[in-house]
């Protein structure tokens, strides 16, 4: 959420930043609501002061025996009391209207974020690894002989509909091993705190990280009013919701492996084959809560954590900085890591790492008390996949495929697979 005081001080800069995102100027309407809200607050405070002054005079009039003055003052107090209540109610309504308007606006990009309309305008900043040269035409993951029995979309469709999968045997074990490998690496080597959180959350938590009010259709809601989390970003970030923490508390670096749920409302017809885009999937999510001065360095550190997983697995990737037209709602800058998929002959996103500044902290009212005793300030938050487990499974299968239909597995995973090194063409670990 944005600071109305900053908008008030420099509305042109605010609108110029929104324009880079393709969003129309918002300051005129925001400032109109803000002006009316402040006027209502001032009127309520003035009427309250008049009510208090009249209340003090009532006792004097009563003591002096001036019954007419007493009745006049009592009527005035009653009148002012009603006026104060009315003005306070109007101020609250205007405050809620302003909050709703501010919450519907995206975060502002950093000035160095490249401008662009969509993913075609993203800017590559580095690559790692060379795509393997196959002596045969590589297949997509769902066409590999070794996964025909272990990746069952037909049964999943019977159970739940499209965009679900039933995994079994070696494929299911490889999927689990990947998640364990990621978690253990982030905890033991990257210093993150392993965390287990609910997958059902309240409205306030979805508001806090920016999924609501604008993107409710992208998530699932239960009849009881809980939301199924689209990512553990929601729960991990909201750990500090409503808190004011000491500076010494920071940084906080969390990692969690959770089920994630997305309706994919805006992706009809995209990636319908295989398990690249599912309604239910798993991610190992990283969240950092930092001092405002440390968030940019933390963004680079988190990007390195995610890249390190792919390097350990020997999977070629490229890292891009998203342009203004492709960034998420809450980000000021986002790095996407795209892994090479031989079956598609293209790089596909496997992680997005975003620095949000104080955007989410304002929504959550999460602050830090400086060590020098200064006024509390809003925290900075960051989030990123470390990594999407299902997409990593796809990348391991496609990059390790052999002409006989088997898959050679990355050496880094062998300890998590009981020393097994491959999946045979018949779908068995060996």
- 248 labeled part of a ligand binding site: no
Cβ atoms of residues 334 and 354 within 8 Å: yes
| Given 352, 362, 398, 402, the catalytic residue | 352
Element (DSSP H or E) covering residue 77: helix 67-103
Q: What is the sign, positive or negative, of the torsion defined by CA atoms of 404, 409, 414, 417?
A: negative
In the sheet where 200-201 sits, what is the strand order?
Answer: 200-201, 227-228, 220-221
Is 422 marked active-site?
A: no
**How far apart, in Å, are the Cα atoms of 153 and each of 148, 174, 226, 389?**
10, 17, 28, 18
- 263 labeled part of a ligand binding site: yes
Contacts of residue 48, defined as CB under 8 A and 6 or more positions apart, other chains included, come to: 80, 84
| Given 43, 50, 140, 349, the catalytic residue | 349
Residue 251, preceding peptide bond in cis (omega within 30° of 0): yes
Give the tokens for residue 264.
């994919």
- 351 labeled part of a ligand binding site: yes
Cβ atoms of residues 190 and 305 within 8 Å: yes
Contacts of residue 355, defined as CB under 8 A and 6 or more positions apart, other chains included, come to: 295, 296, 298, 299, 331, 332, 333, 334, 380, 382
Rounded Cα gap, residues 121 and 337, in angstroms: 15
Is 194 marked active-site?
A: no
Helix axes 169-188, 389-399, angle to 10 degrees: 110
Rounded Cα gap, residues 327 and 297, in angstroms: 19
Is 349 marked active-site?
A: yes
- 350 labeled part of a ligand binding site: yes
- 97 labeled part of a ligand binding site: no
**How far apart, in Å, are the Cα atoms of 83 and each of 36, 90, 128, 318?**
16, 11, 67, 63
Expressed in percent and rounded to 5, the helix, strand and coil fractions of the chain are 45, 20, 35
Is 253 marked active-site?
A: no
| Given 37, 163, 262, 301, the catalytic residue | 262
- 140 labeled part of a ligand binding site: no
- 239 labeled part of a ligand binding site: no
Give the tokens for residue 144.
């590999």
Contacts of residue 314, defined as CB under 8 A and 6 or more positions apart, other chains included, come to: 129, 399, 410, 411, 412
| Given 277, 312, 348, 422, the catalytic residue | 277
- 349 labeled part of a ligand binding site: yes
Give the tokens for residue 178.
């990947």
- 233 labeled part of a ligand binding site: yes
Alpha helices (H) along 271-386: 295-313, 359-364
Beta bridge partners of 378: 367
Is 332 marked active-site?
A: no
| Given 219, 367, 391, 402, the catalytic residue | 391
How many residues does this entry show for the chain?
430
Q: Which residues are catalytic?
A: 262, 277, 349, 352, 391
Residue ranges for the known binding site for L-serine are 231-233, 262, 285, 383, 385
Residue ranges for the known binding site are 231-233, 262-264, 285, 349-352, 383, 385
Residue ranges for the known binding site for ATP are 262-264, 349-352
């Amino acid at each position: 959420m944005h600071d109305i005081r900053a908008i008030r001080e420099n509305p042109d800069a605010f609108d110029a930043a929104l324009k880079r995102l393709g969003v129309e100027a918002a300051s005129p309407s925001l400032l109109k609501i803000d002006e009316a809200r402040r006027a209502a607050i001032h009127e309520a405070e003035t009427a309250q002061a008049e009510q208090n002054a009249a209340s003090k005079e009532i006792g004097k009039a009563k003591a002096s025996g001036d019954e007419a003055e007493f009745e006049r003052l009592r009527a005035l107090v009653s009148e002012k009391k009603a006026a104060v209540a009315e003005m306070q109610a109007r101020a609250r309504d205007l405050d809620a209207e302003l909050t709703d308007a501010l919450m519907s606006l995206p975060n502002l990009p950093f000035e160095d974020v490249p401008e662009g309309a969509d993913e075609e305008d993203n800017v590559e900043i580095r690559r790692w690894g060379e795509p393997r040269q196959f002596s045969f035409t590589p297949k997509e993951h769902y066409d590999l002989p070794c996964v025909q029995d272990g990746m069952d979309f037909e049964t999943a469709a019977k159970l739940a509909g499209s965009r679900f999968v039933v995994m079994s045997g070696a494929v299911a074990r490889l999927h689990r091993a990947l998640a364990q490998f990621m978690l253990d690496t982030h905890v033991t080597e990257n210093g993150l705190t392993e965390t287990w959180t609910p997958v059902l959350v309240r409205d306030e938590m979805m508001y806090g990280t920016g999924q609501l009010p604008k993107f409710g259709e992208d998530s699932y809601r239960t009849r009881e009013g809980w939301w199924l989390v689209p990512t553990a970003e929601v729960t991990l970030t909201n750990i500090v919701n409503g808190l004011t923490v000491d500076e010494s508390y920071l940084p906080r670096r969390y990692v969690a492996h959770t089920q994630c749920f997305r309706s994919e409302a805006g992706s009809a017809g995209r990636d319908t084959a295989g398990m690249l885009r599912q309604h239910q999937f798993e991610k190992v999510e990283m969240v950092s809560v930092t001092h405002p001065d440390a968030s940019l360095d933390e963004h680079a550190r988190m990007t390195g954590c995610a890249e390190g997983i792919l390097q350990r697995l020997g999977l070629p990737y490229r890292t891009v900085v998203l342009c203004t037209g492709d960034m998420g709602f809450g980000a000021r800058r986002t790095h996407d890591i795209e892994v090479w998929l031989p079956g598609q002959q293209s790089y596909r996103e496997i992680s997005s790492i975003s620095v949000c500044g104080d955007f989410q902290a304002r929504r959550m009212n999460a602050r830090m008390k400086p060590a020098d005793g200064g006024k509390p300030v809003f925290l900075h938050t960051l989030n990123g996949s470390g990594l999407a487990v299902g997409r990593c499974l796809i990348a391991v299968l496609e990059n390790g495929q052999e002409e006989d239909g088997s898959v050679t597995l990355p050496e880094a995973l062998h300890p998590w697979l009981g020393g097994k090194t491959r999946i045979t063409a018949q779908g068995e670990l060996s």
